[in-house]
Amino acid sequence: MIAAVDGSEHSLRALEWARTAALRHGTGLLVAHVLPEATQLYAGRRSALHDPNEPEEYADPVGDRVRAILEASPERPAEIRYEALEGSVPAALRVISGEGSPRMLVMGSRGRGGFAALLLGSNSRAVATTASCPVVVVPHAGRDAAADPAGEAAGASAGKVVLGLHVTETPEDVLSFAFAEAAARGTTVQVVSAYAIPPGPANVLGGPFAVIPPEALADEGDSVPAEREMLRAQTRRLEAVRGRYPDVPVEQAAEPGNAAGRLVEASRSAALVVVGRHHPRVRSLLIGSVAHAVLQHAHGPVAVVPALTDEDAEL
């Protein structure tokens, strides 16, 4: 588990989220700090949390604050490492995300140098679209649905894992990530897909979208044919991953036109929203419009999961 920090409050919220996630998954925690350009000369001396007895030129205030926060935490992962990195933020985090197959990289929605009006900073966007492992972007306090950065106090840990699914394009690795997260949390996966709006009289849409358990799909009910067919296509696509996670409850939902708005709305109460992107080698197709919109406007944590296998890279 990697937590990217820069000393900003946004990144420290991400650190707390990563600490909790590392405990949940039983993994170690690597805290990565990309040093400001002016101090990168001494990066090689900072492979561990700062020793106050070292010369002042080696001081790392961010590392000191990270150590203080983790030491004050009620529970810590068994292994914690701190690395001070050189280079640009996207490049340095892209390199470290490809080392040792980390479960995920967690970072704030924007860092110390961002404009306050931006919901998603350029570094967060760049890392989410190029990292070699799943990236979780934790929103700043003004957008997070829960006051507690880890989501525990507001009950978000009992919330659902919401998966944005394109039935023909979403890589299988994305489904596996969502179900593994739900299994670790003991919660439900809610699957949301979009379907084409059929021609005909204008539909009046109001209220929350319908969530249908898989066993109800045998009943035609009142849904339009396009919605029903999308739900059945979801069921077919989910068959393999449900076989691997038979104890994870599943809810299915279909949204006419575009799923981004519903995913953003679901992020208000979800434990995590999961969207996919293509393999890092497919440079022209890294992230779609839905994933970008969810990253930009979500009220809770969003995981952007790349295709991690060659099979998925061909999708």
Q: Is the pLDDT higher at 254 or at 141?
A: 254
Q: What are the φ/ψ torsions at residue 311 (nearest 5 degrees)?
A: -60, -45
Give whichever of 40-44, 75-79, 174-178, 267-271 has the largest mean pLDDT. 174-178
**Total number of residues shown for the chain:** 315
Q: Is the pLDDT of residue 65 over 50?
A: yes
What pLDDT is recorded for position 277?
A: 86
List b or e across 125-135, with b for residues whose CB sees 16 or more CB atoms inside 10 angstroms: bbbbbbbbbbb
pLDDT per position as a tens digit, 235-245: 999 999 999 99
Task: Determine the 3-state secondary structure of 42 from DSSP.
Answer: helix
The Cα 27–Cα 7 span in angstroms is 23
Same CATH fold, 159-313 and 2-138?
yes
Please write down the HEC assignment for all residues of 145-195.
CCCCCCCCCCCHHHCCEEEECCCCCCCHHHHHHHHHHHHHHCCCEEEEEEE
Topology (CATH level 3) of domain 2-138 = Rossmann fold (3.40.50)
Task: Return the percentage of the chain with pLDDT > 90, whole number.
Answer: 45
pLDDT per position as a tens digit, 187-235: 999 999 998 876 555 444 444 455 555 555 545 555 578 899 999 999 9
Topology (CATH level 3) of domain 159-313 = Rossmann fold (3.40.50)
The Cα 51–Cα 87 span in angstroms is 23
pLDDT per position as a tens digit, 246-283: 999 999 999 888 889 999 999 999 999 999 986 455 54
The Cα 159–Cα 63 span in angstroms is 32
What pLDDT is recorded for position 87?
A: 83
DSSP annotation of 74 reads: S
Q: What pTM value is reported for the model?
A: 0.80
Q: Is the pLDDT of residue 73 over 70?
A: yes
What pLDDT is recorded for position 209?
A: 52
Domain positions in the chain: 2-138, 159-313
Contacts of residue 141, Cβ cutoff 8 Å, sequence gap at least 6:
9, 13, 147, 149
Average pLDDT across the chain, whole number: 79
What pLDDT is recorded for position 156?
A: 35
CA count, 13 A, side-chain hemisphere, 232: 11
